[in-house]
Amino acid sequence: MQLIVGNNYDEMSAFAAAGLLAALKDKNDPLVCLPSGSSPVGLCEKIREHYAAAGSGPGWYFVGLDEWVGMDGSDKGSCRNFFNEQLLVPLQIPGSRISFFNGKSAQLELECHKAEEFISTHGGLDIAVLGIGMNGHLGFNEPGVDPSSRAHVVELDEVTRNVGQKYFSEKKELQKGITLGIATLMEARTLFLLVSGKQKAPILKKAVQGEIGNAIPATLIRNHPNYFIYADADAAEGIGN
Ligand code: GLP
């Protein structure tokens, strides 16, 4: 595990973007997984700037990390909607290169199967960038998750149901989520965790220094051989740098 700390959110985002682009530099058609939410907004901006300056799009395949059950890209605040706006449309990534959970599907198990299939068809995840929830979740791998889990549907933790309201302009019933599993993520060649803000300092400290176990899902990826945490100084204040 390597911890890289930026002085502020912008610097953290720049470091993470540089790290991501370096990790993918020599890969043809890499398969990339990114998190939605507040943490990766700056990273997405840096990626857009990079490809705008390069004058060409990334040759990426893209797989979604998670989605709220009952939502798809047409729902403002959904994970897919976030990526449509932040990356997929601006970078003109064709639909054939994207696999994303449809949280409105009547066959959610099939959505899980399709995501895993897409990953194996494209040679495995080259990089999975993750955010951390206030309860230590990764994607929607909530406290108590089976560490051997692959893509699955979950009953959301109360913390997630409450904190998740921040993505929506009106109150939502957030009961279930669909997510790539811990085992799926652990197979990624490179893992990044993006953490920003003082409010995340206590959970980041636990993710880094707490006992490894499913009570705090973020501890489960700590032994990944190619794991980088990008934090800003506020989030890293409890662990030093
Ligand atoms: C959300 C998502 C995660 C995300 C995490 C942190 O609920 N399910 O994929 O990484 O929680 O989100 P944020 O960056 O907005 O704090």
Q: Give the pLDDT band (50/70/90) at residue 240.
A: low
Q: Is 66 a catalytic residue?
A: yes
Say if ligand 1 is within 6 A of residue 103 CB: no
Q: Is the pLDDT of residue 152 over 90?
A: yes
Mapped onto helix, strand or coil, the DSSP state of residue 72 is coil
Q: What is the pTM of this model?
A: 0.97
The pLDDT tens digits of the residues spanning 197-218 come to: 999 999 999 999 999 999 999 9
The pLDDT tens digits of the residues spanning 173-190 come to: 999 999 999 999 999 999
Say if ligand 1 is within 6 A of residue 42 CB: no
Which ligand 1 atom minimizes the distance to the CA of 140? 8
Q: Is 135 a catalytic residue?
A: yes
Tokens of 78: 């959904």
| Residue partners of 238: CB distance under 8 A and separation at least 6 | 201, 202, 204, 205
What integer pLDDT is reported at residue 57 of this predicted model? 86
Strands 176-179 and 66-68: antiparallel
- Asked if 45 contacts 91 with a C-beta cutoff of 8 angstroms, the reply is no
Q: What are phi and psi of 67, to 5 degrees?
A: -155, 155
Tokens of 107: 């066959």
